[in-house]
Amino acid sequence: MVIEALRAALEANTVGVRGPMTPAEARAALGALDDAESGPIAVSPGDPLVAELGVVEHLAGRGADLLLPDAPDWRDRLPQAAIGVTAAHLAVADTGSLAHICGPGAPRAVSLLPPVHVCLVALETVVPTFAEAVARFAAEPLPSAITWIGGPSRTGDLEMVTTLGVHGPSRVEVLLVDTNA
Amino acid sequence: MSPEPGLDPNRRRPDGPTVALFVTCVVDQIAPDVGVAAVRLLEAAGCRVEFPTAQTCCGQPAANAGEPEAAGRLARHMIDVFAPYDAVVAPSGSCAAMVHHSYDRLISGPDRVRAEELSAKTFELCQYLVDELGCTDVGARLDATVTFHDACHGLRNLGIGDAPRRLLTAAGVTLVDLADSETCCGFGGTFSLEYGDLAAALADDKLAHASATGAEFLASGDSACVAHLEGRRRRTGSGPEPIHVAELLARGLPAPVSPTP
Amino acid sequence: MSHGIVTPGATFAERSRAALADPELQGALTNLHRRLDTARAVAETSPELKDRASSIRREVLADLDGWLDRLAASLERVGAVVHRASTPEEARSVVVALARERGVSTVVKSKSMATEEIDLADALERADIETIETDLGEYIVQVADERPSHMITPAIHKTLDTIAEVLTTRADGPLPTDREALAAWTHDHLRPAFLRAEMGISGVNFAAADTGTITIVTNEGNGRLCTSWPRTHVAVMPVEKVIPRLVDLATLLPLLTRSATGQAMSNYLSMITGPRRDDEMDGPDELHVVFLDNNRRALVGTAYEDMLACIRCGACLNVCPVYRRVSGHAYGAVYSGPMGKVLTPLLSQGAEGRELPHASSLCGACTEACPVEIPLADLLVRLRADLREPGVLRPAPIATGGSSSPESTGHRLPGEGFATRAAAAPLVPQGAHRKVGLSFAHLSFAHLSFAHLAFATWSRVWASPGGYRATSALGRLTKGRWARRLPGLTGWTRTRDLPLPAARSFRERWAERTNDPETRSW
């Protein structure tokens, strides 16, 4: 129920939602992304689900042009990245928000600079309400930044009609992953 | 019971409460037909209407102009005049709202309690008939198409919701929804003098919405709104006839019997 | 660019007349209809959200200084630097100094009304620091050298055609009147600025005192870019933005976004707790938070205190019949709409915006729409009274232990709104004795002083039934005609006919009725 509510909220915000899928299917889906794009794939390996799924290893194994935060020229190359891959720490069904904890290996800009953002969401991290999500964060020491994302970058400034793709990604894809499958 | 000769057949023997009519200075001086209509409607609903002749003005023009001392002076007089009554009814949402919303802050000291007492027993006319008396059918019958403008203070400070519309519907009126019915007509007291172009533009918007309904009448519960809208209509020629809802309903009451010589 | 809060010179009447006569503006403003019902939707679907938010905001106001101290301590604990600025000058100096000391040559700014209030972009530009507005609406007005006309949608006064023309002045070739193309061009055009800027400046939507977390909401992502990539982040925070707890965001953020645009949540939300930590590859090295006072703290404990509950959602603008007809520039102030009419004279202590409280029909739609229950229409009426006296506007503290009993504050009365201690304060200052008379030193307000004399006289005459009856004898002359022109009332008769007193007043007709039972005809 809560998964379907999340899907509906995300889709209403022009997010492409796929799954639930197995970890293997998620890896395969990520691998398929590379074929269509030109430019490196930036990854946020510090996100627990990214590490758990072995995303970096899988993509590296396919010979993808990966950009990881510990690369010495990371800041120079990120503006050229075609895709950013992160995982949400929590996903909120009532507001359709993907909450990302920023930290070592989990930069803010991976989900921001590249024109396409792919976000992995583990089913067990989906919570029904924004209030519950905030309460969970408040119960722990806070990271330097929590970024909540609803969908592609948008503006209402052009005669109040929603237009996508201003400063952030113009395309957001969510892969719902059943880590127990 | 046949009507006594020379008397209004609507004025049946009162079996309802006694109310004091707070006619309001605008109605008294500029739109007295509205006051007459209010009395006829209240009597048709079975009320006994008294008119305390010492009444003057609730003080709203002064209060809204930022002159609370002047407003307080008028409010104290108002409280004295209406203290003896159990119910005070005004054919004006804004004047009734003035008493409700502002009197307890205009008056301090021992008189404040009397201000609060007056607030508790002061009503707008339609609100009184429908919500207090439970009367939506006062015996008026009117074959007309009407659209209704929700005057601001009655709407927002008194919560007058659908009482006027229910009275109109019970009278057999065809009620057509007015787009943006809750948007201000542009009167606003001194606003309509100081910012006349803006006030007129808002009146134009209201009259345009009213035209679009195809209604014959644009009814409202406040004479000031009616005067402002009618004043604009006379210049532009557009829109249905603005009219006070009481005056419109009273037209649907059986005509008074003329006295036999 | 803007200087001070109010554009000097023209009056609201003149500016609003120009606005009414501007067909492009009037066309653009029809779009605002989309936002008309956001406040009503919140009130109907989430009344408990509104209640809780209103309480949280009053909790802050009950001890604003205490909450600010707690916030400062938390911010410092997480590695932010706190600067307290009493005046716009102090705030500007702090930020310019921070930029100069760090050799900043480019600043990127996300949308912040507080930075407009203090004219920060102008100050930076004069210090030879390139300052680029990154919110698309703000960028458009920056290029057009105008002020924002709405706090949420800064270029609401511009049609798509005009926007394309404005942006074309910064483009290599003519830009099409096409939304996607303009968005894409903006993305590409401003991206290099984000990447090269050494400092990002933002506002603060809310700052949680318990954790030292500041929150920034945007839909475009410019807020995130300004606060992720540049080495230094400066956040300008008006003091009323402090909230007690992080968890209060669960109430305040959805309320803000729903009231502003109808969105359940803004597209992007950043909760920032200090600068970047070690080993983080992005995020600012330094976070500076500037607490901006500018006469706000002086309002606490006065009848105007509730104005500080404002969360800057813009709902009052969206429902205001005046705003919807003339848009923000008619106000000639940084803050427009109903909240701007209240805030401008208060923050400037009467130096600016004195006429703004009069530019209202007092319809109350703003009070009804306000998600945190600020009695805006009542505050406008209070200001009309308090601004009668020329000179500095310094609201007096409300007498404690006064008329509002503990039970009557903080609860909503049916159809009446929130009864805060400020809202319940008497309208007539106790013990105050107001001078009556003409003020020759301030001729522009002479008519207001005359009005005071007129109202005082009128109220004395009309507080007596005899006096009232005497004045209503006028009806015998005017006989209920409609006047097309009336000297002294041309403000009305220029656009409308004016009804004159009827030949016989109601009371005269009642007297005839009561006195003569045989001929009563109604």
- CATH classification at residue B220: 3.40.50.1860
Per the prediction, chain B carries an average pLDDT of 92
Cβ–Cβ gap B230/C497 under 8 Å: yes
B126 found inside a domain = yes
Give the per-residue pLDDT at C520.
58
Band of pLDDT at residue C505, cut at 50, 70 and 90: very high
Q: What is the CA radius of gyration of chain B?
A: 18
CATH of the domain at A24: 3.40.50.10420
Final residue in a domain of this structure, among B72, B107, B131: B131
Task: Mark which residues 57-116 of A lie under 8 Å from C by CB.
Answer: 69-70, 74-75, 79, 92, 94-97, 102-105, 107-109, 112
Residue of C375, C364, C319 whose CA lies nearest to C342: C375
Average pLDDT for residues A161-173, to the nearest whole number?
Answer: 92
On whether any CB of chain B is under 8 Å from the CB of C400, the answer is: no
Tell me the domain boundaries of chain C: 464-515
Strand ranges (DSSP E) for B41-139? 48-50, 88-90, 122-124
**Tens digit of pLDDT for each residue in C114-137?**
999 999 999 999 999 999 999 999
* Separation between Cα atoms, residue C227 and residue C339, nearest integer Å: 28
Q: Is the pLDDT of residue C29 over 70?
A: yes
Considering its fold, how many domains does chain A have in total?
1
Average pLDDT for residues B235-251, to the nearest whole number?
Answer: 96
Percent composition of chain C: helix, strand, coil (DSSP 3-state, to 5): 50, 10, 40
Cβ–Cβ gap A134/C247 under 8 Å: yes
**Tens digit of pLDDT for each residue in C53-67?**
999 999 999 999 999
Q: What is the CA radius of gyration of chain C?
A: 26
What's the maximum distance between 2 C-alpha atoms anywhere in chain A? 47
Average pLDDT for residues C21-45, to the nearest whole number?
Answer: 88
Average pLDDT for residues B131-146, to the nearest whole number?
Answer: 95
The encoded tokens of residue C162 equal 């005009």
Q: Is the pLDDT of residue C261 over 50?
A: yes
For residues B90 and B156, state if they share a domain. Answer: no
* Torsions phi, psi for C491 (to 5 deg): -55, -30
* Separation between Cα atoms, residue B43 and residue C455, nearest integer Å: 36
Q: Is the pLDDT of residue B248 over 90?
A: yes
Residues of A in contact with C159 (CB under 8 A): 159
Would you say the C-alpha torsion C146, C149, C152, C154 has a positive or negative sign? negative
Chain B nearest C-alpha distance from C86 (Å): 30
Give the residue from A86, A166, A170 with the most C CB atoms within 10 Å of its CB, the best one to mutate.
A166
On whether any CB of chain C is under 8 Å from the CB of B4, the answer is: no
For residues B73 and B152, state if they share a domain. Answer: no
Say if CB C300 and CB C64 are below 8 A apart: yes
From C133-147, C423-437, C456-470, the region with the lowest mean pLDDT: C423-437
What's the maximum distance between 2 C-alpha atoms anywhere in chain C? 99
Residue given tokens 């000769």 in the structure block? B5
A20: cis peptide before it, omega within 30°? yes
* Separation between Cα atoms, residue C242 and residue C292, nearest integer Å: 11
DSSP C119: T
Per the prediction, chain C carries an average pLDDT of 89
Q: Is the pLDDT of residue C410 over 60?
A: no
For residues B122 and B28, state if they share a domain. Answer: yes
Residues of A in contact with C279 (CB under 8 A): 103-105
User: What residues contact residue B136 under an 8 Å CB cut-off, 6+ apart?
Assistant: B129, B130, B166, B167, B169, B170
Band of pLDDT at residue B6, cut at 50, 70 and 90: very low
Chain A nearest C-alpha distance from C182 (Å): 9
Q: Pairing mode, if any, of strands C213-218 and C206-208?
A: antiparallel
At B116, the amino acid letter reads E
Cβ–Cβ gap A75/C270 under 8 Å: no
* Separation between Cα atoms, residue B192 and residue B169, nearest integer Å: 32
From B173-177, B248-252, C467-471, C482-486, the region with the lowest mean pLDDT: C467-471
Q: Which residue range is the domain that position A42 belongs to?
A: 2-177
Q: Which residue range is the domain that position B57 belongs to?
A: 18-131
Give the per-residue pLDDT at B13.
59
Considering its fold, how many domains does chain B have in total?
2
From A125-129, B1-5, C263-267, C454-458, the region with the lowest mean pLDDT: B1-5
Nearest to C268 among A107, A160, A168 (CB): A168
Q: Is the pLDDT of residue C50 over 70?
A: yes
For residues B153 and B53, state if they share a domain. Answer: no
Cβ–Cβ gap C509/B201 under 8 Å: no
Cβ–Cβ gap B191/C464 under 8 Å: no
* Separation between Cα atoms, residue B200 and residue B203, nearest integer Å: 5
* Torsions phi, psi for B173 (to 5 deg): -70, 145
Cβ–Cβ gap A147/C254 under 8 Å: no
B90 found inside a domain = yes
Q: Residue C159: closest CA among chain A residues belongs to which residue?
A: A159
For residues B141 and B246, state if they share a domain. Answer: yes
Give the per-residue pLDDT at C230.
97
Cβ–Cβ gap B199/C495 under 8 Å: yes
Residues of B in contact with C475 (CB under 8 A): 29
**Tens digit of pLDDT for each residue in B155-196?**
998 889 899 999 999 999 999 999 999 999 999 999 999 999
On whether any CB of chain B is under 8 Å from the CB of C361, the answer is: yes
Nearest to A145 among C183, C184, C272 (CB): C272
pLDDT, greater one: A103 or C406: A103
* Separation between Cα atoms, residue C180 and residue C178, nearest integer Å: 6
Say if CB C255 and CB C371 are below 8 A apart: yes
Identify which of C14-23, C121-130, C178-187 has the greatest average pLDDT: C121-130
Say if CB C189 and CB C373 are below 8 A apart: no
Task: Mark which residues 451-510 of C lie under 8 Å from B by CB.
Answer: 451-452, 455-456, 458-460, 462-465, 467-468, 472, 474-475, 480, 482, 489, 491-492, 494-502, 504-507, 509-510
Predicted-assembly ipTM surpassing the 0.85 threshold = yes
Band of pLDDT at residue B4, cut at 50, 70 and 90: very low
Band of pLDDT at residue C450, cut at 50, 70 and 90: confident
**Tens digit of pLDDT for each residue in C370-387?**
999 999 999 999 999 999
At B91, the amino acid letter reads P
Share of chain C above pLDDT 90, in %: 72
Residues of A in contact with C31 (CB under 8 A): 159-160
Q: Is the pLDDT of residue C33 over 70?
A: yes
Say if CB B65 and CB C453 are below 8 A apart: no
Cβ–Cβ gap C211/A142 under 8 Å: yes
User: What residues contact residue A24 under an 8 Å CB cut-off, 6+ apart?
Assistant: none
Residues of B in contact with C497 (CB under 8 A): 230-231, 234-235
pLDDT, greater one: C1 or C468: C468
Q: Is the pLDDT of residue B17 over 60?
A: yes
Final residue in a domain of this structure, among B131, B157, B175: B131
On whether any CB of chain C is under 8 Å from the CB of B254, the answer is: no
DSSP C358-373: GS-----HHHHH-TT-
B258 found inside a domain = no
Give the per-residue pLDDT at B259.
52
For residues B125 and B27, state if they share a domain. Answer: yes
Adjacent-strand bridge partners of B219 = B148, B243
**CB contacts < 8 Å between B and C, how many?**
245
Chain C nearest C-alpha distance from A132 (Å): 8
Strand ranges (DSSP E) for B102-144? 122-124
Cα→Cα distances C253→B167, C16, C264, C270, C371, Å: 42, 33, 9, 11, 12
* Separation between Cα atoms, residue A180 and residue A41, nearest integer Å: 27
For residues B144 and B246, state if they share a domain. Answer: yes
B260 found inside a domain = no
Residues of C in contact with B38 (CB under 8 A): none
Say if CB B140 and CB B44 are below 8 A apart: yes
Final residue in a domain of this structure, among B98, B131, B164: B131
On whether any CB of chain C is under 8 Å from the CB of A155, the answer is: yes
**Tens digit of pLDDT for each residue in A12-59?**
999 999 999 999 999 999 988 866 667 899 999 999 999 999 999 999
Chain A nearest C-alpha distance from C67 (Å): 18
At C396, the amino acid letter reads A
Q: Is the pLDDT of residue B20 over 60?
A: yes
Residue of C356, C402, C362, C355 whose CA lies nearest to C378: C362
From C29-33, C166-170, C387-391, C412-416, the region with the lowest mean pLDDT: C412-416
From A155-159, C104-108, C117-121, the region with the lowest mean pLDDT: A155-159
C485 C-beta neighbours (distance < 10 Å), count: 11
